[in-house]
Each structure stands twice: as structure tokens, then as C-alpha cells.
């Protein structure tokens, strides 16, 4: 039987949640006041051991909403948040309630961040409502590259889990863009949906396969070897698809969350 525990992020609306890559019980939740329209944000670090209540480890307050969260793959006590003020903040769990590092470069909301997944590199990826995608060296605290090609808000960015230097982004212009670290322009710009695209994710088993979710209520799969048409199209949601995520355990399982209040 599935057990369910609940932790109330009072006066904060959840935007993103991600488990620590080092601890099976620790996870982080990025939140914002007033549905992220205005107000402050809080990054909650929580600990859940099955059979016990969810325990608060740390709550970091920020003057602006926090839209996404990821973890350092190098240091187990470092978590990163993307802010409505255009900043990317690094929080060390064992330090005072001040950022360990702030990366500045975006001029509008940072809506998506992702730490590289291959062993050959340790880089941070960010996508913003300023239409830009950026790659950072989190160890040096430097901006490495800025990637231009989207003509509307960038909603989601994701590193390939299998191919070093390759990443994807989706935006309000309806496109799925593919990039590598060697050039600032897209390798490909796929017209994935005829509307805003809110999410993308890579298959963990097939290096050429991605999925996208749009405000047209559709989920589409793409084979990058032949992206002239979708590999598959999934219908069923009644409103925009906010998030898509491939299972790390099975190549044939894909999860989605929608504004229709359902997860499939």
C-alpha cells in the first residue's frame, strides 16, 4: 500500500521539486508567493524517511519567487534555485541563511535550471524569460556561453543524459531547440507545437528520443534522427501540460503533470 505524507508550504505555491543525487531521503522544493506572479520565494529542503513525518531541514528565504531547483552533482550539501529576479542562487545547507554564490546574467525570470548529467562535464544550464539559454561553470562561478535562437520565453532546459555537451530547450515560440557547447546557434529548431511549449525531457535509454508538453494539452515524442513529424502524440489532458518526465527505470514509461489537476 502506498503511504502518503504531506508538508504544508504555507503561503507558498510549489513550482519544482527534486531529490538529492546523494541522499535517498532528502529533496528540495522551490516555491513562490501568489502563484509566482509577485512576492517572495522560499527554497524548502525536506527529509522524508518512510514511516515518519516529513522533516524540515532548512528553509531559505529569497525576496523574489523561485521557479526551479536542482542539486550540485559535486557537493551533496549544495542546492541551486532559479529566481524571478533573473538570478541563480547557490545555497549550502551547512552555512548561514545567505547564498554561497549568486550567478547574474539573465535580465528576466530564470524559469528552468539543470546540472549536466554526464561525467565528462560539470556545468549548469539555465533558461529564462529573456529568451536566452546560458551555460555556466558553477565551480568558477563564471558564465561560459549564451545561446540565442528562441523568440519567446524559455520555459524548460535539459541536458542530454547520454551525449556530453548536448542539451535541449523549449519556449513560448513553440519550438524545441537542440544545442551543443561548440556553437551559439541551435543545431536544430523543431516546430514541436503550434503554441507555447512548457516542458521537455530526454529518454534515459534512447539517446535520440525526447518528449515535449504544450499548452495545446498534447504530449509529443521526437526522434532526433527524423524529426519531420512526431514519433508519438499522447492525448488525454484537459489543459496545458506543465511537465513531462521519462522514467529513469524504464524506457517506455513517461509521466506528465497538467493544469487540469491530474498526473498521468
Quick check: 96 pLDDT over 90? no
pLDDT in tens, 161-213: 999 999 999 999 999 999 999 988 999 999 999 999 999 999 999 999 999 99
* Neighbouring residues of 55: CB distance < 8 A, sequence distance ≥ 6: 46, 47, 48
Set of cell numbers at residue 52: 515518519
pTM of the model: 0.95
CATH number of 128-264: 2.130.10.10
Q: By C-alpha distance, which of 232, 228, 213, 151 is closest to 186?
A: 151
Q: Is the pLDDT of residue 4 over 80?
A: no
Q: Percent of the chain, pLDDT > 90?
A: 91
Mean pLDDT score, 114-126: 92
The string of pLDDT tens digits covering residues 41-95 is: 999 999 999 989 999 999 999 999 999 999 999 999 999 999 999 999 999 998 8
Asked which of 118-122, 129-133, 169-173, 255-259 is least confident by mean pLDDT, the reply is 118-122
Amino acid at each position: 500500500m502506498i503511504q502518503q505524507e504531506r508538508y504544508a508550504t504555507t503561503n507558498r505555491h510549489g513550482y519544482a521539486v527534486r531529490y538529492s543525487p546523494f541522499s535517498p531521503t532528502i529533496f528540495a522544493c522551490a516555491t513562490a508567493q501568489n502563484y509566482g506572479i509577485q512576492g517572495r520565494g522560499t527554497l524548502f529542503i525536506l527529509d522524508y524517511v518512510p514511516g515518519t513525518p516529513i522533516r524540515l531541514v532548512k528553509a531559505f528565504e529569497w525576496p523574489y519567487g523561485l521557479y526551479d531547483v536542482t542539486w550540485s552533482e559535486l557537493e551533496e550539501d549544495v542546492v541551486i534555485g532559479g529566481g524571478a529576479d533573473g538570478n541563480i542562487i547557490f545555497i549550502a545547507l551547512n552555512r548561514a541563511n545567505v547564498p554561497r554564490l549568486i550567478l547574474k546574467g539573465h535580465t528576466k525570470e530564470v524559469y528552468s535550471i539543470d546540472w549536466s548529467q554526464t561525467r565528462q562535464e560539470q556545468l549548469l544550464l539555465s533558461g529564462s524569460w529573456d529568451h536566452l539559454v546560458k551555460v555556466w561553470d558553477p565551480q568558477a562561478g563564471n558564465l561560459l556561453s549564451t545561446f540565442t535562437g528562441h523568440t519567446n520565453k524559455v520555459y524548460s532546459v535539459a541536458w542530454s543524459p547520454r551525449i556530453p555537451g548536448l542539451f535541449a530547450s523549449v519556449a513560448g515560440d513553440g519550438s524545441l531547440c537542440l544545442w551543443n557547447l561548440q556553437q551559439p546557434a541551435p543545431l536544430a529548431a523543431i516546430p514541436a507545437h503550434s503554441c507555447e511549449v512548457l516542458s521537455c525531457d530526454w529518454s534515459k535509454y534512447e539517446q535520440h528520443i525526447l518528449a515535449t508538453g504544450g499548452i495545446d494539452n498534447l504530449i509529443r515524442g521526437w526522434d532526433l534522427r527524423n524529426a519531420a513529424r512526431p514519433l508519438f502524440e499522447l492525448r488525454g489532458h484537459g489543459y496545458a501540460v506543465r511537465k513531462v518526465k521519462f522514467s529513469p527505470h524504464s524506457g517506455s514509461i513517461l509521466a506528465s503533470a497538467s493544469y487540469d489537476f491530474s498526473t498521468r
